[in-house]
Amino acid sequence: MRKLFIYLALSLTLILFAACQAAAPVSQPAATANEIQPTKVQPTEVQPTKAQPTEAQPVEAQSNEVQPAEAQSNEVQPVETQPAEAQPSDTDRDDREIFRSGLINAEQETLDGLPGASVYHIAFQIADDLATLTGHQEVHYTNREDEALNEIYFRTFPNVTGGALRVSEVKVDGETVEPAYEFEDSAIRVPLPTPLQPGDQTDIQMDFEVEVALDMAGNYGLFGYFDDVLVLDEFYPVIPAFDDEGWNVETPPPNADTSHFDASFYLARVTAPASLKIAASGLEVERQTEDGKQIVAFAAGPVRDFYLAASDKYTVISDTVGETTINVYTFADQTTGAETALEISVNSLKSFNRRFGAYPYTEYDVLSTPMQALGIEYPGIVGVALPLFDPKETVAGLPFPVMLEGAVAHEAGHQWFYNVVGNDQVDEPWVDEAVVQYITGLYYADTYGEQVAQQYRASWDSRWERVNRADIPIGLPAGDYEGREYSAIVYGRGPLFIAALAEKMGQDIFDDFLRNYYQSHKWGIGTGEAFKQLAEKHCQCDLTPLFKEWVYEK
């Protein structure tokens, strides 16, 4: 398998690579050559397994393999469950003990940090036809700003991604309030009965109903029920980040990730048909089956948001890196793709663990899912397009493992830059996407050597060539790019800037800087300006001319 990867990696100069949401939705006029339609797969139904892969064993250990910390079991003892209809947990909002089993030993101290992080308790039911959800959520929110708040916003993204989300029975500290839908119904404004002063806390609860999209529309087809897979991207009301511009509640652009959230804690309990195999952010902490239904609770935190996907066609294979169990969920006839994805995931975590710091969770899930991009990141879990797992498929004229490897490694990198270190993905998408494109090159160097990494990096130039190497800044908001510009500039010119920055600073100094940037911004929000200032501190040099050339609007 290792020889196969090396051979295929030599073809990377041909790649028109798109990861995350780089390709515009096919419903948009700005379609690019690397957009793909998910292939309808009809697998033979089999019973899910937890077996180790039979062919794709991890490659021979590299020098960058991290040694696991003192062993800690990922298994958790079931706690008392709720009968029949799931209800939000009555766990104390200040008690973070339930999240402990989901964090590796080195990350345990996080539970004593992050004062004031929001806590979401969500209970929802998936209908038998998977077309609707009904739920209730309670959010414990602390005003961590330096000004009083008169309202709190919640994003309601299904209203702009092909489905619908409506709320009712909204209460603030037990008092009923009337929310207002704004920004093309992509957000609701919840008025507060009295201003929430800095440092003060409030509890907001609401019921919600969701219509699941059944046709791919909006945000790359990441929310809905397609090709036998239920994908629930940002399906619940969620509080956006608040920064120097106020609440981040602009109408979502058509060509970027839309999430910009603070790190929070989630306890989510889902009632669903018992036949579904469910994967979600966090770790399963409760389970019961009753009358053909399963009631499963997931504890996730700290995380940027909460994601769940499910299918009655999924099978699972697993491996471990240190304290982390890696699970790959695919259809029964995608065994070869699953084994390949598992090996790539193992090598990705080893590379990024050594370079930036250990992956924080005891579980990492990789799913084959329908979408109009090649991959998408969520906390502790990623989706990769269904056709990339199919040995019979070619993407952009290349065999499936070539595109699969780039997508899986790229999405793994987002666990460090997007989830642990957050950023405004709408206004400054380069801060995570360009960086993750660059560190995907580091993955190739660590796994195969510098020669293969250089051939992968040539794909950045090919991407930029789509707009004739236009001198467009990489630091624009996503909505300011037109047509192919977003993909070509942020994913093509962007990593070329990071490489130029590394050359300017010196590679060893740059490597220390990037690790420090990750460590110093863990569970916080990074910005382009913070990135620049820390780089200048490390190199003791003025990087303004370089940033003016590549990043800033002329």
pLDDT tens for 6-17 read: 334 333 433 333
The region that residue 221 occupies, defined by phi over 0 for left and psi between -120 and 50 for alpha, beta otherwise, is left
Residue 249: CB atoms within 10 A of its CB come to 19
pLDDT in tens, 365-395: 999 999 999 999 999 999 999 999 998 888 7
Give the model's pLDDT for residue 254: 82
What DSSP state is assigned to residue 423? -
Q: CA-to-CA distance for 540 and 518, rounded, in angstroms?
A: 19
Whether 4 has a pLDDT exceeding 60, the answer reads no
Is 276 in a helix, a strand, or coil?
coil
pTM here is 0.86
Q: Which CATH superfamily is domain 97-311 in?
A: tricorn interacting facor f3 domain (2.60.40.1730)
Q: Examine residue 391 and say whether the peptide bond preceding it is cis (omega within 30 degrees of 0).
A: no
Q: At what angle do helices 494-505 and 528-539 cross, to 10 degrees?
A: 20
Cα separations in angstroms, 346 against 308, 364, 436, 549: 22, 10, 17, 37
DSSP H helices, 430-506, are 430-448, 450-464, 485, 494-505
User: Can you tell me the mean pLDDT for 425-449?
Assistant: 97
User: Can you tell me the mean pLDDT for 176-199?
Assistant: 98
Give the model's pLDDT for residue 217: 74
Q: What is the pLDDT confidence band of residue 89, given thresholds at 50, 70 and 90?
A: low
Give the model's pLDDT for residue 192: 98
The mean of the pLDDT values for the chain is 86
